[in-house]
């Protein structure tokens, strides 16, 4: 790893630990190595350390002098990361260390997600636990697994594990704000059976590829007007199916349920007599969609290439059902809040389409700050796919986090920020999911806020962190701990 790009960045120990964390593979549901690293780290530093059967890690540090009777504070972050890369990047998230790249005032990665979500939170916690000069109450560091693909670490947390009265969650992505509420979410997955039949004779084959989209977080970025690769490619597939005798051999779009699909690809065949018209249609539709998304997706690209004929294609009946249901399937904002201006209340994300064995697997996710609306959104997606006879299932879901504007720790944080930086911080709820909802469900009397340095492009290879805000976040956190006496 090119550790040298981190040298000279402040706070030095935060960046040191972030560098170490980047060397440890930590995809969601595969956090064994990072969990073991954290347990060993805690024990090596002489701190009470334990982990649970899921891999969640808890490290305790006694209060400093004068803070023995202060409320216990939990510092909380998640150890897993979203693993997304550019299609041209050769990289194995189960083996390879993240390669950081310095880009002016920002730190990013070479063709992959950076993992600052939430590696920078974990690194900050370790730096605080290590520092013997910081004034603070008794601390509990809770570092959870599998936040990104279901929040199962927080969901499986024992109700007797924590002693804290206050929780500082380090998983927000905008410096200068405090989050005090979040949406709940649920995943809806679909299975569609299909048969393979002989590819039609007298046809030519093409690979259609959609790329250059920004993607991003399916909660935070769902209202930014970005294109969904799965929806865009299907517009061409639908037109090809019903206007040009196109047959679909394979389709592959998107990856993770909590990321907006950035790329999609399909292999198709077209009767030789329709090839010219088909190519004209693809060119015309591509130009139209590039114009349609000109302000939000300036790098959008459609590519159509000749390839060798596949031996098999999807049966015609299933193909027609698929292109119809993908067109009908909702994606994006479903409702805006009636109480909070410019706040997304309910949304859904058509995340991925994969062919495995004899089934087409479709992953979607729904979010809402209103529980009934969340379940209605999931039912809407279920109803859409049931109309073609697909098998539909839902995940367990997770609850939202109800805002508490009278929070004591919020008031401390706001006062600290105003005194340090001379301006009012933003106080808001977010459409993304946070572990605070699940933790609050288990510890209903815990006072919580979420904040952090500025990150952009999370859940995509464009993920980057604004370097100067890490030091601001660090100084702010130390002052909050000092004031919680």
Instruction: Read off the pTM.
Output: 0.78
CB within 8 A of 135, min separation 6: which ones?
64, 66, 67, 481, 482
Residue 1 has pLDDT above 70, yes or no: no
Residue 53 has pLDDT above 80, yes or no: yes
CB within 8 A of 252, min separation 6: which ones?
264, 265, 266, 353, 354, 355
pLDDT-above-70 percentage for the chain: 99
Beta bridge mates, 109: 100
- pLDDT tens for each residue of 227-264: 999 999 999 999 999 999 999 999 999 998 889 999 99
Range of the domain at 45: 3-183+400-483
Residue 447 has pLDDT above 80, yes or no: yes
Beta bridge mates, 346: 335, 368
Residue 349 has pLDDT above 50, yes or no: yes
Domain end residue (candidates: 394, 423, 456)? 394
Answer yes or no: do 373 and 447 share one domain: no
Answer yes or no: do 67 and 166 share one domain: yes
What pLDDT is recorded for position 3? 59
Q: How far apart are CA 90 and CA 300, in angstroms?
A: 22
Domain end residue (candidates: 331, 364, 394)? 394
Domain end residue (candidates: 355, 370, 394)? 394
CATH number at residue 434: 3.40.630.10
Residue 469 has pLDDT above 80, yes or no: yes
Residue 405 has pLDDT above 50, yes or no: yes
Phi, psi of 392 (to 5 degrees): -125, 135
What residues act catalytically?
A: 80, 147
**Which sign does the torsion angle of CA 20, 24, 30, 34 carry?**
negative
Whether the Cβ atoms of residue 74 and residue 121 lie closer than 8 Å to each other: no
- pLDDT tens for each residue of 148-201: 988 899 999 999 999 999 999 999 999 999 999 999 999 999 999 999 999 999
Domain total in the chain: 2
Answer yes or no: do 158 and 281 share one domain: no
Residue 117 has pLDDT above 50, yes or no: yes
Answer yes or no: do 154 and 71 share one domain: yes
Confidence class for position 87, pLDDT limits 50, 70, 90: confident
What pLDDT is recorded for position 170? 98
Confidence class for position 92, pLDDT limits 50, 70, 90: very high
What pLDDT is recorded for position 108? 98
Answer yes or no: do 410 and 472 share one domain: yes
What pLDDT is recorded for position 2? 52
C-alpha distances (whole Å) from 175 to each of 21, 294, 416, 465 are 22, 29, 14, 11
CATH number at residue 251: 3.30.70.360
Counted residue by residue, the chain has a size of 485
């Amino acid at each position: 790893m090119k550790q040298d790009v981190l040298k000279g960045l402040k706070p030095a120990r935060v960046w040191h630990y972030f560098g170490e964390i980047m060397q440890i593979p930590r995809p969601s549901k595969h956090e064994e190595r990072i969990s073991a690293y954290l347990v060993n780290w805690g024990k090596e530093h002489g701190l009470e350390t334990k982990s649970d059967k899921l891999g969640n890690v808890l490290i305790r540090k006694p209060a400093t002098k004068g803070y023995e009777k202060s409320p216990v504070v939990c510092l909380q972050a998640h150890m897993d990361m979203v693993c997304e890369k550019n299609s041209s990047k050769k990289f194995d998230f189960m083996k390879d260390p993240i390669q950081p790249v310095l880009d002016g005032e920002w730190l990013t990665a070479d063709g992959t997600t950076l993992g600052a979500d939430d590696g920078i939170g974990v690194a900050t916690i370790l730096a605080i636990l290590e520092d013997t000069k910081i004034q603070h109450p008794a601390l509990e560091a809770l570092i959870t697994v599998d936040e990104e693909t279901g929040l199962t670490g927080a969901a499986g947390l024992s109700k007797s594990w924590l002693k804290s009265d206050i929780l500082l969650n380090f998983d927000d992505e905008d410096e200068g704000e405090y989050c005090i509420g979040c949406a709940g979410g649920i995943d809806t997955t679909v299975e569609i059976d299909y048969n393979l039949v002989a590819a039609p004779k007298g046809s030519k084959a093409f690979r259609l590829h959609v790329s250059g989209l920004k993607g991003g977080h399916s909660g935070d970025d769902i209202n930014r007007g970005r294109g969904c690769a799965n929806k865009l490619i299907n517009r061409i597939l639908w037109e090809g199916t019903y206007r040009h005798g196109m047959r679909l051999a394979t389709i592959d779009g998107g990856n993770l349920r909590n990321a907006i699909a950035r790329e999609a690809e399909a292999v198709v065949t077209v009767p030789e007599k329709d090839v010219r018209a088909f190519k004209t249609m693809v060119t015309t539709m591509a130009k139209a969609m590039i114009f349609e998304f000109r302000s939000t997706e300036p790098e959008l690209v459609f590519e159509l290439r000749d390839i060798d004929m596949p031996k098999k294609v999807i049966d015609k009946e299933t193909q027609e059902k698929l292109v119809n249901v993908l067109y009908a399937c909702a994606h994006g904002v479903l409702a805006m809040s009636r109480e909070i201006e410019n706040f997304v209340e309910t949304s859904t994300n058509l995340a991925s389409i994969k062919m495995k064995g004899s089934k087409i697997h479709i992953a979607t996710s729904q979010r809402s700050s209103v529980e009934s609306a969340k379940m209605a959104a999931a039912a809407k997606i279920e109803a859409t796919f049931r109309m073609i006879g697909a098998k539909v299932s839902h995940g367990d879901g997770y609850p939202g986090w109800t805002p508490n504007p009278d929070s004591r720790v919020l008031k401390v944080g706001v006062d600290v920020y105003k005194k340090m930086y001379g301006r009012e911080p933003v106080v808001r709820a977010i459409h993304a999911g946070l572990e605070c909802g699940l933790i609050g469900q288990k510890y209903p009397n815990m006072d919580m806020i979420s904040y952090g340095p500025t990150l952009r492009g999370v859940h995509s290879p464009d993920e980057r962190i604004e370097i100067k805000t890490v030091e601001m976040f660090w100084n702010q956190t130390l002052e909050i701990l000092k004031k919680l006496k």
